[in-house]
Amino acid sequence: MPKRALVALLTLSCVPALSACGQEEPDLVAGKQLFVERCGSCHVLNRAATKGNSGPNLDAAFSQSVADGMGRDAIEGVIEDQIKDPRRGSMMPADLVKGDDVSDVSAYVARSVARGGEDEGVLADAVKKAGGGEVIAAKDGKLVIPADPGGQLAYVSSKATAPAGPIDIESPNESAVPHNIVIDAFGPTGKGAVVQDGGVSKISGTVKAGETYSFYCSVPGHRAAGMEGELTVE
């Protein structure tokens, strides 16, 4: 057994006593929300519907451990240890989450990894589905397609419409995950700057009636994870 897993297991031996003294149970809803916002752009976790590909696929990473009978509490301890002390050379930044948030995220991930089906009850509604918003319509020659504010690899909607003619397109990004917007058919003016933390990626071009234009994020891995959509010209 890896050293960290062993340390986590030894630590977990104290959990029942602590719980008996009144330690609060982890907040799974908060854990899911934080995971999607802070970790989803890097990791696949099917139950959270995240598709990041710059870090390990968490379902795959723990599937053998689950098959071998490793308990969810033990997995939670391993995850918590990794969050608190990222291994040297890891892409995971230190202090990604802190305090009780570490327990919340660890508990949600441990409950969810390598498990089929979908979240139910309050967990099913904890995070708004990425890219599932209403069709966004251009107005007065301007179209605004925000990136998902929660950090998911998606725009708030994957569908937009506009009348024919010149158009300016903006993609505000309130999250800490870097994104931009691109429409290849616009040529040199069709690739916006990569922005984050309130920045706005901007492009411009001319659209033709009856045509459909693909827009996407060009940050490596983001389009492959589903950050794209279609602009239909009426």
Residues 15 and 112 in one domain: yes
CB neighbourhood size of 191 (10 A)? 16
User: 161 and 115, same structural domain?
Assistant: no
Rounded to whole angstroms, the Cα distance separating 44 from 187 reads 33
Crossing angle of the two packed helices 58-67 and 72-84, in degrees rounded to 10: 140
pTM listed for this prediction? 0.73
> Tell me, what CATH number does 184's domain have?
2.60.40.420
Domain final position from 82, 101, 123: 123
Examine the domain organization and report whether 101 and 156 are in the same domain: no
**Looking at the structure, do residues 169 and 205 belong to the same domain, yes or no?**
yes
- Whether 130 is in a domain gets the answer no
Over 80: is that where the pLDDT of 223 sits?
yes
Q: In this structure, are residues 123 and 28 in contact, taking their beta carbons and an 8 Å threshold?
A: yes
101 with 38, same domain: the answer is yes
* Residue 117 placed within a domain: yes
Q: Is residue 80 part of a domain?
A: yes
Give the domain extent around 32. 3-123
Summarised one tens digit per residue, pLDDT across range 70-118 is 999 999 999 999 999 998 878 888 888 999 999 999 999 999 999 999 9
Residues 34 and 104 in one domain: yes
pLDDT band at 151 (very low <50, low <70, confident <90, very high): confident
Same domain, 23 and 74: yes
Q: Are residues 11 and 119 in the same domain?
A: yes
Number of domains in the chain: 2
